[in-house]
Amino acid sequence: MARVSDTATFNTKTYRDTVATMRARRERVHDAGERVYRETGRLDPNVDIHGNRRLSRNSMVRDGDHFILKNGIALPIFSGFDGTGSMGGNVAKAFEAIPVIDTMLAGIRHRYNTQIASAVVQDVVDTHPVFQMSQFESDIRIAEQIRLLVPDHGGGDETEDYDLCPTFLWLATQTDISDFYGLKGYAMIVGDQIGRGTVTAEDVKEYLGHTLQTRSMATKAICQALLPKWHIFYVHVGSGGGGSRDFATDWWTDKLGQGRVLIVPDPDLLAEVQAGLIYTTETLDPTESGMIEFLLSGGANKRITEREAREVWKWIKDAGIPFGAQAKLPGYNEIPKPGDVFAHLRHAWPEGHPRASENVTPTETGEGEVAALPAETPTKKTGKPIDWNKF
């Protein structure tokens, strides 16, 4: 039987109580993670990725011999933050913005159980582990696990080991939304520099605890391999003009493709940028007024003004983000809905669904198996491969 917490949603009151306790103790956001690392020499298991995977699964509750999809299919949302120098402070900003992004994402909860994971990526020469990532969670554990991340805040050369972030997403994440339905999760890498351009099998084994089946691999190839499963973006924080900014955005555009790199002058609006990216990708014909309404959440999000919401729209539009990319994917309108009833916890399709005959019941030891074929794609209809850069 699924735990109640598996289908729980974020609780703002619990979050506020946590923040109040932290303030009373004069505790900073990452003090909990730093304490664990100092006392044990290791990260907390919830953010230690070495040799581990991260899974985004549909969450159900048992009802007799059946299972109910209470909150919609799982939508994984990943944010990987540069943890070096002043950039490390953006992880704390993410903690502070959790209630805000939860409010904004209410606009897509008729389809999805949003599951959020946060990560830190830094330099292999830094004091703390180069890549750290929380679990995909939908409730207060989102905030609890951000506190367990340990940004290094160190300096050094301009090149960072960002490459290990997409490598982990490629090698060690599994999501029902892509495996079952042919749709994608969301991944946002937040930084201000470039990566190395290549990852080696030696580094993957040492820093991620996984195996790369070749001596080395270009970061561009890894990023392109992610496109069928992730709407992935690089967000360059800071305005500036020319110089390293242009060099970094050009570098990431080469790796990810056009329309996946945007510049955000104000890091305090990162939560709104993430929500805006989701709105414009999930909406077939997004509009400025529609996104402003989404970000302001009918007045519930009082953190930003309408003028700031218009700025977020401009940043996304100027970046050439592929509008409606999720909504244009085959199977977008076929996914199970909240309240649908399933015969098995790991079935992709509910009883009575036109595609229920495709369900595959995994064996007791087959939790990692894909329980159904991906949603029908144009490849079956036209014989041509999908150009994932358009989505």
The tens digit of pLDDT for each residue in 199-213 reads 999 999 999 999 999
> Would you call 200 exposed, middle or buried from its count of C-beta atoms within 10 A (0-12, 13-18, 19+)?
middle
What domain count does the chain have?
Answer: 1
Look at residue 309 and tell me if it is in a domain.
yes
Buried/exposed 305-314: b ≥16 CB within 10 Å, e otherwise: eeebbebbbe
- Rounded CA gap, 90 and 149, in Å? 12
Res. 97: pLDDT tops 60: yes
Cα–chain-centroid distance for residue 357?
31
**What tens digit of pLDDT does each residue of 159-171 get?**
789 999 999 999 9
Sheet holding 60-63, edge to edge: 60-63, 66-69, 341-342
Torsions phi, psi for 238 (to 5 deg): 110, 145
What pLDDT is attached to residue 391?
Answer: 75
Domain membership of residue 256 as a residue range: 4-318
Look at residue 340 and tell me if it is in a domain.
no
What pLDDT is attached to residue 83?
Answer: 87
pTM attached to this predicted model: 0.91
- Rounded CA gap, 178 and 171, in Å? 14
What pLDDT is attached to residue 155?
Answer: 58
Enter the tokens of residue 262: 């945007």
What pLDDT is attached to residue 1?
Answer: 35
Res. 157: pLDDT tops 70: no
**What tens digit of pLDDT does each residue of 51-62 get?**
999 999 999 999
**What tens digit of pLDDT does each residue of 237-292 get?**
975 555 557 889 999 999 999 999 999 999 999 999 999 999 999 999 999 999 99
Is 117 in contact with 81 (CB distance < 8 Å)? Answer: no
Torsions phi, psi for 54 (to 5 deg): -125, 125
Look at residue 368 and tell me if it is in a domain.
no
Is 232 in contact with 226 (CB distance < 8 Å)? Answer: yes
Pairwise pLDDT comparison (299 vs 377), residue with the higher score: 299
Within 13 A of 374's CA, how many CA atoms are on the CB side? 15
Please report, for the domain that includes residue 43, its CATH number. 3.40.50.410
The C-alpha angle with vertex 282 and arms to 281 and 284, in degrees rounded to 5, equals: 90
First to last CA, the chain: 36
For 36-78, give the DSSP string. HHHHHSS--TTT--TT--EEE---EEEETTEEEESS-EEEEEE
What pLDDT is attached to residue 383?
Answer: 56
Torsions phi, psi for 283 (to 5 deg): -105, 125
Res. 221: pLDDT tops 70: yes
Look at residue 69 and tell me if it is in a domain.
yes
Q: What's the rounded mean pLDDT across residues 64-84? A: 94
> Three-state SS for 232?
strand
Is 246 in contact with 306 (CB distance < 8 Å)? Answer: no
Q: What's the rounded mean pLDDT across residues 66-80? A: 96
User: Residue 116: CB partners within 8 Å, gap ≥ 6?
Assistant: 77, 78, 79, 98, 101, 136, 137, 138, 142
**Helix, strand, coil share of the chain (percent; to 5):** 40, 15, 45
What pairs with residue 237 in β-bridges? 264
Res. 367: pLDDT tops 50: no
What pLDDT is attached to residue 247?
Answer: 87
What pLDDT is attached to residue 158?
Answer: 64
Enter the tokens of residue 270: 């990162």
Mean pLDDT, the chain, integer: 89
CA distances for 262 relative to 167, 259, 304, 324, 344, angstroms = 21, 8, 20, 17, 42
- Name the band, by pLDDT with cuts 50, 70 and 90, for residue 6: low
- In percent, how much of the chain has pLDDT > 90? 76
Res. 316: pLDDT tops 70: yes
**What tens digit of pLDDT does each residue of 341-364 get?**
999 999 999 999 999 999 998 764
Look at residue 369 and tell me if it is in a domain.
no
- In percent, how much of the chain has pLDDT > 70? 88
User: Given the DSSP bridges, would you call strands 198-200 and 112-121 parallel, antiparallel or unpaired?
Assistant: unpaired
